[in-house]
Structure 1
């Protein structure tokens, strides 16, 4: 009888083990399915929130932004552009209100490295500028001073002196025009005066040939159209989500109007920020 009992006991243990394995597999599969569904819902919610943010920014550009002020003039301390309070949050399911805080900074203090759509003089100048930057700077610095989108012209407001010299020498073929760059660097130290005087007036005062000044005016601009956006989603004083991207505005002369489809601005490379730990609500950290 003992061998029979031992056999039955072994069979029971085996069946229990098999059942445990089957149950574990079922639970694991259900857990995987639940996590997959959760990820899909999270991605859908994030995509919906992102589209909502884009619509908010577009609506502000179309209806809320004063036409009497330049985009730069609307940016306040710490790069703060605007706050929008959403009573039900960005997703519409929040139990408390959320504040969408938008910050903007000049993204044109670098040179274009993607020449798609360029032709003629613009293409020649863009190639010359990029070549000058790569010759003048180390590989790491050259990468820091380049971008994939936006106009050929670099910012007269934020471009570092070394970059402006590289741009100047690329399009004029000499260092003579660097005197005009020196005048520009001095003028922009007083933003109000620089804004009222204007870039062309500053460059014209330099003892530089008019042709070289005209070349500089094509590749250096005070009318910046490419801006870096940071969006903070704040709930009860805490940063709960964030997004980042680029905003391309049409230029005053309409040079970029086709790229914005006639709209007041186009959001590019707009995405959710992965790491929020280093960011403080309302801060200007980059």
Structure 2
């Protein structure tokens, strides 16, 4: 399984995100449709099931959406984060007051579909990379504002790994930093002089000449940006294990195999968090306990 042993995120991280989404959806007076149509106290039993094959992520966030609306709602997770699923597989079972379940439904599904889509996209790239080399698929900071912790968790659920979480994780010197600092060597020297001894320093290079300069200046990680497979192979040979190699730029299902085959250590991909399609899941009444509204 891609990331089935993945530990859950702490509730302290998940709860504010889910609470904010619920507040956005409930507005000033709550679910006026359910409150008008469904008698108070009507029970409901439902399942959330998949309609496409993929990998699940976001179950904790979805479950929390129901619990925050009404602690009386009972949620059972049948397939946890990192679990491969096929159409019709039940991911969660939900039972409780109908009004509350339906008030939480959209937020729960929005998060579950979005995060499962990211996990599914990641798992696809991880499988291709593994078939062509040893490279790990890593995500970037190109995440939905406010959802970074959940989206990066979803990448791990899909078998990928995380790049830095924010600007304070590590030094990543990119082309604009190099231009302002006055060159590769100058940028690396300033970084080394101004960060702690435990902080890793990565630098983006666009050419093999820049790579040679970065290696001579002692970069810990080199980001090989927009290089073709042949150039990547030459870059990996020049590095010779002296630094971690990361490839980036226009990575997709068609290009990831040749990039991995070039021998890089990491392949960073933005679209798995900013453009991955959702995994289609839906909430349906349990056929054995369809509620009566009379």
Bigger CA radius of gyration: 1
More helix by share: 1
Same fold (TM over 0.5): no
Q: Which has the higher contact order (CA 8 A, sep 6+)?
A: 2
State the TM-score bracket (shorter-chain normalisation): under 0.3
Relative to the length of structure 1, the TM-score reads 0.25
